[in-house]
Structure formats: C-alpha cells, structure tokens
Amino acid sequence: MRKREVVTGLALVFMVSIALLALTGCGAKPDAVATKLAEAVNVQDLDAALKLFAEGAVVNTGGPAPFSGKEEIQGWLEGMFADNFHLEIEIVEVSGDKVVEQDTMTMDSLSDLGLASLQGTSEITVQDGKITTLNFAFSEESAAELQVALLEASVP
C-alpha cells in the first residue's frame, strides 16, 4: 500500500511540474534575454545579438519603418555597430513575456552632434527565449535634445 502512495505522489508532483512549465514557458526569462542583448551589442557580437531574435521579429525604433525579420534586424545592428553604439539598461518591469527597460545610449553620431547620451524606454516581448518585438521610444527630454542638436547641425 505504501508503494502505491509514493508512486501516486510522484505522479502528482510530475503533473504539477509539467503544468508549471506550460504556464511559465520553457524559454529564458525576458529580462535575461534583454540583458544578453545589451551585452552582445556592447561588445559588437553580431551573431550573439542576432541569435536572440525570432525569425519574424520586429524592431521599431521610431523611424519611418520598423525592421522586420532577421535580415533587416541584422542591417540595423550592423549600423549601430558602425556608429560605435553603447547601451546601458535598467530593467524596470517584467510581466509575463514582456520586459520594460530604461535605456541610456551613446554613439559616435550623437557625440558629433554634441550630445553625450540619450535616454529612452524599450518594451521587449520574448517568447520561447527569443525576442519577437522590440519597441523603443526616446524620452521626451532626449527627443527634444536630439531635435535641437539636429536643427543646430543643419544651420550653415
């Protein structure tokens, strides 16, 4: 009788474990993926950064059109690397498969405009350990600073 209770108990533990895995997902936590992306970008590791994105991922940086799919995202990353892009992140919220981070970025083109850094917020969705969407927006202050710097740079 005791053996049957042990087997039943183990079966119950196994079923609960499977249910928890199904609810939480098997992939990496969104904040860990966001951190890995920042680390890969900061050392300009294109392969490591690109591996963090799902095949059909979409990156929206507030430009005229989002970067869709790995080929366009690779071009976006290569452009950032060419501009000596560096990113500091602070995770501010993790909820389910989404992470929100505060970003501080530096790059050569900002320095050329007389800007030390700019800040913004990224909202990243991670499914099965891969980024499916990354949406970035400058803070209001940084957007204004950038606008002024661009206007000043265009005045002869």
- The answer, yes or no, to whether residue 16 has pLDDT greater than 60, is no
- pLDDT tens for 104-115 read 999 999 999 999
Whole-model pTM above 0.75? yes
155 or 144: whose pLDDT is higher?
144
pLDDT tens-digit map of 22-72: 434 446 899 999 999 999 999 999 999 999 999 999 999 988 899 999 999
pLDDT the model gives residue 11: 38
Average pLDDT, the chain: 87
pLDDT at 27: 63
pLDDT grade for 2, boundaries at 50, 70 and 90: low
**3 state SS for the chain:** CHHHHHHHHHHHHHHHHHHHHHHHCCCCCHHHHHHHHHHHHHCCCHHHHHHCEEEEEEEECCCCCCEEHHHHHHHHHHHHHHCCCEEEEEEEEEECCEEEEEEEEECHHHHHCCCCCEEEEEEEEEECCEEEEEEEEECHHHHHHHHHHHHHHHCC
- Averaged pLDDT, 116-135: 97
